[in-house]
Amino acid sequence: MTATASDAPAVAHFRFFTLDVLRTRRLGHSFLRVTFGGESLADFRSGGFDQSLSLFLPTGDQEHTVLPSTDEDTWFAAWRAMPDGERPVMRSYTVREQRRTAGGVDEVDIDFVLHGDSSPASRWAGRAVTGRRIMAIGPAVAENKSVRFQPPAGSDAIWMYADETALPAAAAILDGLPAGTPVRAWLEVPHEDDRLPLDTLAEADITWIVRGSAGRERTEQLLSVLRAEDPRPAEAPYVWLAGESGTIRAVRRHFVQERSVDRRAVRFTGYWRLGASEEQLLAEAYAGRAPSEDPASEL
């Protein structure tokens, strides 16, 4: 789902792609999968796991995304200079799956969390129909910095937490893990029927946490669940955390301080922040005030 506090993407190992909506499918109460195609996807190189890309979604009643520049050196300034109301909305999302069909067509699935018209991305996804066209900056090489799931050599277990915004990333990680990998996962969703079927060859023990209407007390509820459940013993676990930034920091402290996990083995990403709009988070990222994702940073 959206990772709105990311820096403006550099077009080094990345390039612009044109994505055409092929079809949509409702997955649960909160999730909609949009399948994209397009000739340019022949050069798309997802690194799997939690691979992210930046989507440019049209605003208002516009059907397609139009950018004034896709040049590596000028696109960002040109995009920022567009008038409010015309500037496409930039949001970061996870590649749920990339595949080539039997007919030789390249497809990319992206799962959106729907919450009405309260955000531009949800509004766009809820109205997406076949033939709509958007632009994206995505990976041109599989080994790129937008794949954050990087277990160090010697890791003997994967521990993970994700809320609904990071569930597509968690699901893609589970898809890509080798058979037999020990995994302990806590996945938080707002509704019962958001508990999606997850395919994995890993030995995964998954706890679904249905949040319901919990608001600011959600973090304490989550920590109570984490403290009540012990994952199987591991000498060198790798911890991957993604979701609401305040919750993620509290969960990180839990694993480092209460479970004595080496902080260098904890990867954490704030996809959104309670009480802050997506535009506020983007503005902070542009100003260099985005929260650190450095595993060695201070708690």
pLDDT of 6 strictly over 60? no
Q: Which residues does residue 56 pair with via DSSP β-bridges, in sequence order?
A: 90, 135
Q: Characterise 27 by phi-psi region: left (phi > 0), alpha (psi -120 to 50), beta (else).
A: alpha
Q: Is 206 helix (H, G, I), strand (E, B) or coil?
A: strand
Q: Could you tell me the CA-to-CA distances from 241 to 57, 77, 189, 238 in Å, in that order? A: 27, 32, 15, 10
The reply to whether 122 and 170 lie within a common domain is no
Q: Could you tell me the CA-to-CA distances from 96 to 7, 111, 168, 275 in Å, in that order? A: 21, 7, 6, 27
Query: If we measure between CA atoms, which residue out of 110, 96, 118 comes closest to residue 32?
Result: 110
Per DSSP, which regions of 196-235 are E strands? 203-210
Query: If we measure between CA atoms, which residue out of 15, 3, 43, 51 comes closest to residue 138?
Result: 15
Cα four-point dihedral sign 155, 156, 160, 166: positive
CATH number of the domain residue 180 falls in: 3.40.50.80
In the prediction, which pLDDT does 292 show? 45
Q: Which residues does residue 111 pair with via DSSP β-bridges, in sequence order?
A: 33
Indicate whether 147 belongs to any domain.
Answer: no
Q: How many CB atoms lie within 10 A of CB 130?
A: 11
Indicate whether 294 belongs to any domain.
Answer: no
Q: What is the pLDDT of residues 246-276, one digit of tens each?
A: 999 999 999 999 999 999 999 999 988 765 5
The reply to whether 272 and 183 lie within a common domain is yes
Q: Are strands 203-210 and 106-113 parallel, antiparallel or unpaired?
A: unpaired
What is the percent of the chain with per-residue pLDDT over 70, rounded to a whole number? 86
Range of the domain at 260: 157-286
Residue finishing a domain among 139, 173, 188: 139
Task: Compute the distance between CA of residue 268 and CA of residue 291 in angstroms, rounded to an integer.
Answer: 10
The reply to whether 196 and 132 lie within a common domain is no
Q: Tell me the mean pLDDT in the region 17-25.
A: 97
Q: What is the pLDDT of residues 70-117, one digit of tens each?
A: 998 899 999 999 998 899 999 999 999 999 988 888 999 999 999 888
Q: What is the pLDDT of residues 126-139, one digit of tens each?
A: 999 999 999 999 99
The CA radius of gyration of the chain, in Å to the nearest whole number, is 19
Under the banding of pLDDT at 50, 70 and 90, the label for residue 13 is confident
Q: Which residues does residue 92 pair with via DSSP β-bridges, in sequence order?
A: 54
In the prediction, which pLDDT does 215 show? 59
Average pLDDT, whole number, for the chain? 88
Query: pTM of this prediction?
Result: 0.88
Task: Compute the distance between CA of residue 191 and CA of residue 172 in angstroms, rounded to an integer.
Answer: 21
Indicate whether 145 belongs to any domain.
Answer: no
Q: How many CB atoms lie within 10 A of CB 238?
A: 23
Structure tokens at 182: 């020990």
Q: Could you tell me the CA-to-CA distances from 45 to 8, 99, 159, 228, 253 in Å, in that order? A: 19, 10, 27, 40, 34
280 φ, ψ to 5°?
A: -65, -40
The reply to whether 122 and 231 lie within a common domain is no
The reply to whether 125 and 208 lie within a common domain is no
Q: What is the pLDDT of residues 150-176, one digit of tens each?
A: 999 999 999 999 999 999 999 999 999
Indicate whether 9 belongs to any domain.
Answer: no
Q: Which residues does residue 64 pair with via DSSP β-bridges, in sequence order?
A: 133
Q: Which residues does residue 237 pair with via DSSP β-bridges, in sequence order?
A: 157
What is the percent of the chain with per-residue pLDDT over 90, rounded to a whole number? 74
93 φ, ψ to 5°?
A: -135, 165
Task: Compute the distance between CA of residue 99 and CA of residue 112 in angstroms, rounded to an integer.
Answer: 19
98 φ, ψ to 5°?
A: -120, 140
> What DSSP string runs through 5-55?
TPPPPPSSSEEEEEEEEEEEEE-SSSEEEEEEE-GGGGG----STT-EEEE
CATH number of the domain residue 22 falls in: 2.40.30.10
Indicate whether 267 belongs to any domain.
Answer: yes
Among 165-174, 204-213, 281-290, the range with the most confident prediction by mean pLDDT is 165-174
> Looking at the 3D structure of the chain, how many domains does it have?
2
Cα four-point dihedral sign 268, 271, 273, 276: positive
Indicate whether 144 belongs to any domain.
Answer: no
- Alpha carbons within 13 angstroms on the beta-carbon side of residue 245 total 19
